[in-house]
Chain A
Amino acid sequence: MSDKILLNSKEIKIILHRLACQLIENHGDFSNTVLLGIQPRGTFLAQRLGKLLEEEYNIQNIKLGLLDITFFRDDFRRRDAPLEANTTHVDFIIEDKNVVIIDDVLFSGRSINAALSAMQSYGRPKQTELLCLIDRRFSRHLPIQPDYRGRQVDVINNERVAVLWEENDGKDAIYLTTND
């Protein structure tokens, strides 16, 4: 197995600031906007962006939810290993809100498809957008594209994108790992 670094912590920081600014450009003071981090790996990115918007860009009362999509996935009973559920923490209704779905890596698009179904349990949003840190090109199984992306990468089949977060993995970094 070999690792190649795609983004280091400084580059991630710059990208997070850019994504935060792009969100502000479209959503202003976030009074009618909610952020939904997809469990498990999208929640770190969502929380990081939420914190950045509050602390560096002085936007108050950002509504941030963590959405688990396990029971909405389309591969139940189709995988070798059982699906593992995570906690959902959404303490608001998304009826008539602008929703930004946040995930770390956009690959096949199936997780996002499940997230679009899962979030309907909390109402009918006015508009839904997708933000992802890494967009793996040419790998989609569904017609789903991000509205905000950190970095677009070309990844071949036996390669995997690993996103590490300081709060969980000890450092911020994104690697391209190859299974030889």
Chain B
Amino acid sequence: MKSLSVQNLLGIKHLKKEDLDLIFETADHFKEVINRPIKKVPSLRDITIANLFFENSTRTKLSFELAEKRLSADIVNFSAGQSSLKKGETLIDTVNNILSMKVDIVVMRHPNVGAGVFLSKHVDAKIINAGDGTHEHPTQALLDSYSIREKLGDVAGKKVVIVGDVLHSRVALSNIFALQLQGAEVKVCGPTTLIPKHIESLGVKAETNLRKALEWCDVANVLRVQHERMDVKYFPSTREYTQLFGINKEILNSLNKEIVVMHPGPINRGVEITSDVADSDQSIILNQVENGVAVRMACIYLLAEQIKR
């Protein structure tokens, strides 16, 4: 069996197609494990993992925690709100203090771009990036591709449109890298103000007409409007955004095919997606969440495998 070509999971940009295949194959086995009556395997019983969340998270944190527990790892959790960061400690000091308690793997979410790469150069542990600012969120992109693969059989040759706040989205960038690596075509769609200026240099076309984008695609990955990252107004009103870029049942029914709808969560119901779409058969939002645990188990397992005793 192969091993991952990387020592840390910092971003999809560092991965090869073979790495993605290996992660998905391993995730298939773990998906079977988490559907057993007893959903736990003892593989990582001598591994300790620290979950460092310097930015709020519900789903990702829960998903990582569950994945680690299903693999029998010991875990410690840390949230920035209750930490000594407020007392002026630096990131490296915080992490080194945690590592001196013999931690093998660090899962980190951080508001600053490149925090994972920075950490990997300065501390002696495996780093998994659980989101760094507006840069990358590799495990989300992996579980998105895994869910497309599960629903449509393959990712290669599929047309995927990423709709919404692409500018502030780490999910979008990681997804673009992951989908292109597997041979899918990617477009982004949203208000001009929320599409990064040089997006076409990534080989991605931008579309401002939602209907055209949906008619073109097989899969629509709908992003959340990230109000908390918006320091200025990017569009006149939420109502106008919803009218132009909100996915609703009418627009989906008017297409001549049935597309797959995805959302990385959390959903602003009635803003970027209506409830009837989010809860419909076309949506694989809850499959994404289930697959998230299996895919994260695979990533953690494959990185832990490189830690020799």
Across-interface contacts of B301 in A (CB, < 8 A): 71
B43–A76 CB distance below 8 A: yes
Q: Is A83 an interface residue (CB 8 A)?
A: yes
Q: How far is the CA of A77 from the CA of B105 in the complex (A)?
A: 14
Across-interface contacts of A87 in B (CB, < 8 A): 28-29, 32
Across-interface contacts of A165 in B (CB, < 8 A): none
Task: List 23 A-B residue pairs with CB atoms under 8 Å apart, sorted by A's residue number.
Answer: A71-B33, A71-B71, A72-B41, A72-B42, A72-B43, A77-B304, A77-B305, A77-B307, A77-B309, A82-B1, A84-B1, A85-B1, A85-B26, A85-B29, A86-B29, A87-B28, A118-B41, A121-B36, A121-B37, A121-B38, A121-B40, A122-B36, A122-B38
Nearest-neighbour CB distance to chain A for B293, whole angstroms, equals 14
Q: Is A104 an interface residue (CB 8 A)?
A: no
Across-interface contacts of A76 in B (CB, < 8 A): 43-44, 305
A70–B29 CB distance below 8 A: yes
Across-interface contacts of B39 in A (CB, < 8 A): 121
Closest chain A residue, CB of each to CB of B44: A76
A70, A82, A87, A118: most-surrounded residue (chain B CB, <10 A): A82
Interface 1/0s, chain A 76-119, versus B by CB < 8 A? Answer: 11100111111110000100000000000000000000000110
Q: How far is the CA of A82 from the CA of B302 in the complex (A)?
A: 9
Q: Is B87 an interface residue (CB 8 A)?
A: no
Q: How far is the CA of A118 from the CA of B38 in the complex (A)?
A: 10
Across-interface contacts of B29 in A (CB, < 8 A): 68, 70-71, 85-88
Q: Is B2 an interface residue (CB 8 A)?
A: yes
A82–B305 CB distance below 8 A: yes
Closest chain A residue, CB of each to CB of B29: A85
Across-interface contacts of B307 in A (CB, < 8 A): 77
A122–B42 CB distance below 8 A: no
Q: Is A139 an interface residue (CB 8 A)?
A: no
Across-interface contacts of B32 in A (CB, < 8 A): 87-88
Instruction: Knowing that A76-B305, A88-B33, A121-B39 touch, tell me 10 more A-B residue pairs with CB under 8 angstroms.
Output: A70-B29, A71-B43, A72-B42, A72-B43, A77-B305, A77-B309, A82-B305, A83-B1, A87-B28, A121-B41
A76, A78, A86, A117: most-surrounded residue (chain B CB, <10 A): A76
Q: Is B56 an interface residue (CB 8 A)?
A: no
Q: How far is the CA of A6 from the CA of B40 in the complex (A)?
A: 40
Given A77-B304, A85-B26, A87-B32: A71 in contact with B41 (beta carbons within 8 A): yes
- Main SS of the interface on chain B? loop
Across-interface contacts of A120 in B (CB, < 8 A): 38
Nearest-neighbour CB distance to chain A for B256, whole angstroms, equals 38
Across-interface contacts of B1 in A (CB, < 8 A): 81-85
Q: How far is the CA of A107 from the CA of B26 in the complex (A)?
A: 27
Q: Is B3 an interface residue (CB 8 A)?
A: yes
Closest chain B residue, CB of each to CB of A71: B41
Q: Is B308 an interface residue (CB 8 A)?
A: yes
A85, A86, A87, A117: most-surrounded residue (chain B CB, <10 A): A85
Across-interface contacts of A118 in B (CB, < 8 A): 41
Nearest-neighbour CB distance to chain B for A44, whole angstroms, equals 20
Q: How far is the CA of A70 from the CA of B29 in the complex (A)?
A: 10
CB contact list, A41-95 vs B, under 8 A: 68, 70-72, 76-78, 81-88, 93
Nearest-neighbour CB distance to chain B for A96, whole angstroms, equals 13
Across-interface contacts of A85 in B (CB, < 8 A): 1, 26, 29
CB contact list, A18-54 vs B, under 8 A: none
Across-interface contacts of B28 in A (CB, < 8 A): 87
Across-interface contacts of A88 in B (CB, < 8 A): 29, 32-33
Nearest-neighbour CB distance to chain A for B135, whole angstroms, equals 29
Nearest-neighbour CB distance to chain B for A85, whole angstroms, equals 4
Q: How far is the CA of A84 from the CA of B29 in the complex (A)?
A: 11
Across-interface contacts of A78 in B (CB, < 8 A): 309
